[in-house]
Every structure is written in structure tokens, then in C-alpha cells.
Amino acid sequence: MERPYTYWGFVWLPVILLFVFWAQWSGSLKGLQNALDEQRMQLYERPASQDIVYLSIDKASLDRVGLWPWPRSKTAEIVDRLVAAGAADIVLDLDLSTASSQGADERLEQALAKAGGRVILPVRYDPTAGRAGGFVLPYPALIDKTRLGVSDIPVQTDGFARTLPYERMVDGRFVPSVATLLSRDSVQPGSHLVIDYAISPTTIPTYSAVDLLDGEIDPGKLRGKSVIVGTHAVEVGANYIVPVHGMLPSPLVQILAAETLMQDRSLRSVPSTPILAFFTLLLFALSWSRRFSELSHQLIICFGLAAFVSVAAFVLQKRFAILLPTAPVQVLLWLYAVTRALNELTVRRWKVLQTSIEASNMRHMLTRIIGDSSDAILIVDEDGMVLETSRRAPEILGFDPGLNPMRRLSKLVPTELVISAKDSIRLMQADQWNSAADAEPRLLELPSGRVIEYTTTPSRLSGRRLRFRKIQNHYVACITARDITEKHLQEARLEYMSRFDEMTGAMRRSEFLHRLDNSLLRQRTAEDRWQTVFALNLHRFKTINATLGRSVGDALLQAVVRRLNECQLNLSPTARLGGDIFALFTLDLVSDAEAHTLSRQLAEIVEAPFDLDGIRAQIGVRMGISPVRLDTPTPAATSLSQAELALDDATRKGGSGIVVFDPESFAKQEHAREIERELWSALDRREIHIAYQPQVLLSTGQLVGAEALVRWHHPKMGPISPGEFIAIAEANGFVEKLGRWILHRACEDAVTWPDRVSVSVNVSALQFEREGFVEDVKTALEGADLPPERLHLEFTESAFIEASDDLMKNLRSLHALGISFALDDFGTGFSSFGYLSRFPLDAVKMDQMFVRNLTTDTASQAIVQSIKTLADGLGLTVICEGVETDEQRSFLKLIGCQQGQGFLFGRPQSAADIAELSRCRVSVTA
């Protein structure tokens, strides 16, 4: 309903306009126009000029003479007397068209002759007369002694005499009208003069003819004046209906016409079309105006315009004798106002209708929505009466649906809901309702045991306006409730499952930590007593699971938890940290000794045989123990992970199976973790380099090769031994990248040495197995342009433990290239002779452990001796590691070992040092 009036302006205004234009052109508005003109004439009265006098043949005159028509001698006497009094023009408005008695006619002719052309005789138009084109003239004897004036007063269709012709064509010549003659105005051919009836006829000097005849009129009053002699209407003669004054006798109308001319009051009309066009535009603008679109404004403007037009017309008519055609404009304005008002009424009615339809639709919709809702919905008023309920409400809230529809809320639902409804209404009444906070869903357990989630929201209904402009508002509350029993149970279950292990009912890790944290006894009674955490791992559980089946395994776990929970050792309930790992903590402070006793008791409890549905099962236990130290930031979490670390140790070590957390081993693990973290970027940071340790012929001391040993110098941790970080690199896979780098580096360094000096590179089992390893070696050789014969690869037996086809293939391809292999650390591992024959080896490296004890321990001597014999049998070179003393060298040389490596011949050093060393032919004399 935006701007309905614009639309209105477009449709109705043209219709109104068409109507007004049609009315104007068809002349339908003439009557109204005349009435308006007349009204304005009534408003301003003008006096007559006093220059024209009416000599009335009134009743007194008729009574005196006694007959009518008068004898012409009387008329002659009047003319004589007027001439004698010095009148200017004398109009005889009497019928003189035919001759009467001869004496009287002569008498008149004499009088007229004596008057000397001062007398004007009337010419009337009378189509029945049949002479002079319908004009009735004075009889001929009079005509040459007088002047002629047309005395016709045309009557309009409505019977009113308003205009007068200036002149008329009579017998082929123009004869001026009496009024024109009297006013001595110049003749304006063809047009009519419009008489201004504002000139008051009562101000025209009027005398009775009898008074003149009796000589009772002061001749001074007639001197120089024009006089019309005529009958007074009521008596005989013609009467005319004129505006303003009603009936007037013909002479007075003539005089008023003459006065109009003399006072220059001939009323001129202006054309209506431009005025109408102007107002049309104005009304179009008005109908479009946003500012004045209100009905009251529009009406005020319409009335204002109408008034303005009236005033303007009045002023123009009064001051300038201009007739403004106001009728069409007034009609236009009135029609505009009326249609506009009607339209407004229609629009308002339509709006009201629309609103009531909308309201009723809305009510229906709401009732439907509420009724059909799957939730329980109750609408309650301030007095606690239920106004509306959804169909499901009785079912969800558990009340009887058959109760009387006007019901008290308190009779249907638990008190909590009644209070909630009351509170919400109270809050809204106090303007304190906060929809975000106060409409939060709340939970309620019904007496039936079902759980509902409900919200209560108040609403304000605008109400009646009371006295003193106060509004009495009404309030309702809407309670929406939903049965969430299932969801609630589900959530409770999920919550339980997040805290407890479903199968055993033991706590989960988070719950364990939570409880431990809450139970921490922060006030110590003694310095050397603390709460203690035990972490247990079932030993041989996996075997039972595998052999007796998972169901037995599950039953065993449940039984373990049950036993631990029932042990009465003042311990927490059991937690299951994973698979077969459990944890408990002491509820009291205990000393180290007491903790140890407790751990033994726990072990006994778990290790006692189980009877699982007829199946006997027995398991061992490994245990890690950690006291809870309150000086760490997270005592619970820290002590649990320490107990687990201790458990790891216990699992590794075997033995009694119980290990107390040792901060030192923990520190070691921390250190290993740090190494792990740092390792990845060590190559990029150029912290890693290679040292080469000389390998010499024991017979001559000649340098024949060098072993590449990787070195890592960390800026903070200092030098880190390969024994430490290689294992980590193998564990996390970094060894691949590192190994490739070492290979390349070693080959590049080796080409700077003499051809007889080879380079030995340690390769871990992981590298060997890789598919691309052969390619890596080839590219390293080709990149450095090193002959394959000068590259030796060292690996330990561990590479062969799970020798795959891929590994064999790799070994063979590399061997085919001309690369030699040495089995490292021989004698320490399995030392299986099988390996020695099955793999394409060229040398064994005797472990330094045997070399170290060589001179003191005969067993070592025997081992070295037999390794040498074995190698000889297989055609393998023996390289002895860790040669530190001359005695060791001499012994090894004596039994015929070919090569030696050790601090005696040289420490691991730079590639340049090796090059330098190789220039001396013999470094250590044989």
C-alpha cells in the first residue's frame, strides 16, 4: 500500500477533468457561473451616477389621468415640461408606433419639434409586427423630429436579462441602443454589453410623472440630466428578471445598462481554458505530492484554492470589471476533494479489511502451528489459565487431555513449569526480560521419570487504552517442552563412555587424571611420604588372547578389574589406559617401602590364577611405580606418564617386573626425543659432517682405505655420537636421507685420495632393503666419478635377519658392479656361519670387543683365531677394529689378519688429512 494516491491521481483526476471540460463546453456550468457572478455583484454595491433620471408613469400618475394608454397630449406636456426644465436627452419608452387621435398626435409632434432632437424614441424588435424586418418603429411623422434608439432587452434562456446590444441593424442601418445613446459611448458594433447589476437601481433618481405634471419637481433636479419616461412595470409595461434585483421595469434596466457604460463597468469575460489548465496542473502536482499526501492536507489545499479563486474573482470583478469563469475551477476543486475523500475512505476500509483478514489468517496459522507441533506447547495468561495447547502436550507432559479446555496450569503440570511461566511474565512486566539468558532451555524430570527440556517465553499483547492515555497491556507465557528422555539417556551414556571403559567398567585415562587431580593431598604430613601411582601391564595377555580367544581375553580383563577394585588396599578404582594396561593410585600418602609392598600385593592379586567359565588362566604382571610430586606443574599427568615410563622399563628389563620411576632414564628418553626433533633439520643446518678413520695393511702399515664415520655437532647439545642418533634416525626413517647424503659425500671425498685407498661406508639394514638403494649408489659413484672397486659397504648381521628378496637382489646388483661388502661387528650378534656363505661378502670386521681383550683374555684369543680360520676358509679378508696398542697389532699380524683399524693407526679425521696421510707410504711400521 505504498502511495495509493498516486495511482488515484492517475485514474481519477483525468476522469474529473474530462467531466469538467465536458460540462464547461456543453454549457452545463452556465447556471452555476451566473449564480457565482451574481453573488459577487451582491457583494459590492455601486451607486448610480445621478445623470440619468427615471420619470415613472406609476400608479399615482395613472390614477390622475385615469386611462391608459395616455392621450398623447399628456406625453407632449411631459416633453414640454422636461424641455423647460433643461433636461438633456429625453427617452420616451412608450408605444408610439401607431397614430392615435389627430389632435393629440399633433400636439405631441409640436412638442417633439420644439424639443429639437433631444427626444429619443424606442425601436423594438417584434417578429409578429411584420414591418421593417420585424422592428416596430414610431409612426413616421415622429421619426424625423426625433432620434431612434433600440430599446430591446434580450432575455436569456434562463429568463434573465443580463446583456444588451450596443446597436442593431434596423431597416438597413445601424441604430444604437438607448443605453448607448444615453451614455454617449462610442458604438462597439456586434458585441453585447454585460450589465453590472452591482449598480443599485435604488440610487437612480426616480420621480413620478404626475409630480412633473403638477410642477412639483424642482427643475434644478432635471437640468442637464437625461430622462427616461416609462411605465412602472407592475402597472403596465414590460418587466424583466435580472440578477441581484429580481424584477425591474424596462426603463430601469435601460438606465442600469447606460450607467454600466458610463461607469465603464461593462463586464468582460476571460477565457476559461487557460485557468482550467493551470488548475489541472496544480491538482496533478498535488495528487503526486508526498509532502501533502494526507487527506487533511489535500482538503485544506483544495478549499484554500477554492477560496483563493473566489476572492480573486471578486477582486477582479469589483476593481476591473472582469468576469472570471470560476465555475469549472470550483467544480474541479470540489470534485477533486470529494473523490479524494471517498477514495481515502475506501482505502481505509480496505486496509481495515486487509488487516482483519491478515489477523484472522495469522490466528488460524498460529493455532495450526501450535496444535500440530511435535513439541508440547502451552500458552498461559497472567492468571495462570491455559489458553492454548498443542495436541502432543498431554502426552509429553503427562496430563489428561480430556480436561475442561479452560484449565489452570497448576492443575496440569509440575510446579517448576508454573513458576517458570509466572517468572517470565513478571520479568516482562518489569521490562527485565532478557531473551538470550532467560529463554535458555532447562531440564526437568517429570514424576513419570521422563526428562523434558523446556523454555518459557513471555509475550506482551497490546491492549485497551485506558483513561489518561495509559495502556492496559496483557501478558501471556508460552511454554515449549520436548521429551528428551532418549537423548538424555544417550548423552548420559556417551558421557559415561567418555569417562569409563565400556567393557570393564574401568575409568579411562582422562577420568583417572581428573580423579587423581581432585584427590591430591596437598597438605603433606611427612616429607618422605606421597601418593603413588601404579601402572600395570598384563604379561602374556596377548598369548592368552591369541590361544584362548578374544572372549576369554575380555573376560580376563573384566576379572582383573574386578579383583583390583575389590582388593581393599585403600587404592583408587582401576583405570584402563589401553589394551592390557591398568593404573591405580593410593588414596593415602605412603612411604617408598609401603609403595613397594603395595606393588607386590597388587602383583599377587593379579597373578593368582583365574577361573573363566571353566578355563583356567594365569598371567604375570609388569608394573611401573611413580610417586606424585606436587612440585611439577601437572602432578597427576606427570606422575601417570612417569609410572608408564617405568612400566616400559619393566617390560623391557624383565626380572621381578616392578620398576620405580627413575628420573635419569626419563632424562635419557627426553634427550632422545630432543635428538629426534633436531635431527630432521641437522643436514640443512650443515651440522653434520664425515670423519674418516684409516684402515691399514697389518703387514706393511700401508694405508689401504678409510671408514666414513658420520659426525653431528649440535650447537646446543654439542657433539652427539652416531651410536645414539643413528638408532633414532633408523627408527624415524631419517636414515634414508642421511645415508644418501653420506654416500655422496664419501664418494666425492674418496676421489681426492690415491687410487689404492678405498672408502668404507656404513649402511643400515633399512637402507639396504629400499628399492632405490642401488640407484642411489650408482648415482653417487657416477656423480663423483669413483670406480666401484674403491667403494666398500659395511653392514651388520641385523640386515640379514629378515632378508627379503629385494635385499638379495640389491646385494647382487651392487656386487656385480664391483662394490665390496664387509660384515661389521662380527662376533657380537648371532654370528651365524650361514650368513657368511649365503651372502656375497668380501670381508668380515672383527668386533673391537675381542681385540680389546686380546692380550689379557685367552678366550678372546681363541675367538679371534677361529674367526680368522673361518674367514680363510670362505676366502674373506679379516679387518680388525679397535686396534689401540702395539701388542694387539703384533698378535693380529702374527695370526695373519690382513687389515687393522683403530686409534693406533689413526683417529677419525678429515678427508684432507687422509689424503695427506696417504702420501706417506708407511704410517706405522710393521
Residues forming contacts to ligand C2E in the complex (CB under 6 A) are: 693, 708-710, 721-723, 726, 742, 762-764, 824-825, 848, 881-884, 902-903, 908
The nearer residue to ligand C2E, 655 or 719, going by C-beta atoms, is 719
Q: Which stretch binds Ca ion (CB under 5 A): 236-244, 492-500, 726-734, 790-798?
A: 790-798
For residue 709, give the H/E element and its range. strand 703-714
Contacts of 709 (CB under 8 A, 6+ apart): 690, 691, 692, 693, 722, 762, 908
Q: Which stretch binds Ca ion (CB under 5 A): 73-81, 355-363, 792-800, 849-857?
A: 792-800
Write out the binding residues for Ca ion, residues 743-782 only, by CB under 5 A. Answer: 762
Distance CA 613, CA 616 (A): 8
* 824 binds Ca ion per the rule CB under 5 A: yes
Q: How far apart are CA 902 and CA 556, in angstroms?
A: 56
Minimum CB distance to ligand C2E, residue 782 (Å)? 20
List the Cα angle 589/590/594 in 5-degree steps.
Answer: 165
Residue 848 CB, shortest distance to ligand C2E, in Å, is 6
Minimum CB separation from ligand C2E for residue 756, in Å?
21
Residue 684 beta carbon to ligand C2E: minimum distance, rounded to whole angstroms: 18
Question: 123 or 843: whose CB is closer to Ca ion?
Answer: 843
Query: How many CB atoms within 10 Å of residue 916?
Result: 12
Count of residues in contact with Ca ion, rule CB under 5 A: 5
Q: Shortest approach of Ca ion to residue 882 CB, angstroms?
A: 8
The CA distance from 745 to 757, in Å, is 16
Residue 196 binds which entry of Ca ion, ligand C2E, none, CB below 5-8 Å type-dependent: none
Give the residue with the Cβ less far from Ca ion, 606 or 846. 846
Give the shortest CB-564-to-ligand C2E separation in angstroms. 45
For 776, residues 6+ apart whose C-beta sits below 8 A from its C-beta are 739, 740, 743, 770
Query: Binding partner of residue 764 among Ca ion, ligand C2E, none, CB under 5 to 8 Å per kind?
Result: ligand C2E
Long-range Cβ contacts of 682-687 (<8 Å, 24+ apart): 682/712, 682/714, 683/737, 683/738, 683/741, 687/712, 687/713, 687/714, 687/715
* Shortest spacing between CB 788 and ligand C2E, in angstroms: 19
In 3-state terms, what secondary structure has residue 445? strand
Q: Which does 721 bind (CB under 5 to 8 A by kind): ligand C2E, Ca ion, none?
A: ligand C2E
Among Ca ion, ligand C2E, none, what does residue 709 contact (CB within 5–8 Å per kind)? ligand C2E
The option from Ca ion, ligand C2E, none interacting with 693 (CB < 5 to 8 A, set by class) reads ligand C2E
Considering only the stretches 40-48, 442-450, 817-825, 833-841, report the one whose residues sit in contact with Ca ion under the rule CB under 5 A.
817-825
**Smallest distance from the beta carbon of 825 to ligand C2E, in angstroms?**
6
CB 768 within 8 A of CB 799: yes
The mark string for 38-57 relative to Ca ion (x by CB under 5 A, - otherwise) is --------------------
User: What is the nearest approach in angstroms of ligand C2E to the Cβ of residue 723?
Assistant: 4
Distances (CA, A) of 633 to 583, 588, 636, 638: 21, 21, 9, 8
Q: Which is nearer to ligand C2E, 38 or 884 (CB)?
A: 884
Minimum Å gap between C-beta 725 and ligand C2E is 9
Beta strands (DSSP E) in 515-654 are 532-539, 575-578, 581-585, 610-612, 615-617, 620-627
884 binds, among ligand C2E, Ca ion, none (CB under 5 to 8 A by kind): ligand C2E
What's the Rg (C-alpha) of the chain? Answer: 70
Q: Which stretch binds Ca ion (CB under 5 A): 253-261, 347-355, 428-436, 816-824?
A: 816-824
Q: Which does 181 bind (CB under 5 to 8 A by kind): ligand C2E, Ca ion, none?
A: none
Longest alpha-carbon distance in the chain:
208
Residue 55's contacts (CB-CB under 8 Å, 6 or more residues apart) are 78, 82, 206, 207, 208, 209, 212, 227, 228, 229, 230
Burial 492-531 (b: 16+ CB within 10 A, else e): eeeeeeeebbeebebbbbebbbebbeeeeeeeeeeeebbb
Site for Ca ion in 865-884 (CB under 5 A): 881
Letter for the amino acid at 632?
Answer: T
* Nearer to ligand C2E (CB atom), residue 46 or residue 744: 744
- Residue 199's DSSP bridge partners are 46
| Residue of 424, 477, 825, 905 interacting with Ca ion (CB under 5 A) | 825
Q: For residue 509, how far is the Cα from the chain centroid?
A: 45
- Residue 709's CB is within 10 A of a number of other CB atoms, namely 17
The reply to whether 794 sits near Ca ion by the rule CB under 5 A is yes
Shortest reach from residue 900's CB to ligand C2E, in Å: 9
Residue-by-residue DSSP string for 759-773: EEEE--HHHHHSTTH
Amino acid identity of 268?
Answer: R
Which residues form the interface with Ca ion (CB under 5 A)?
762, 794, 824-825, 881
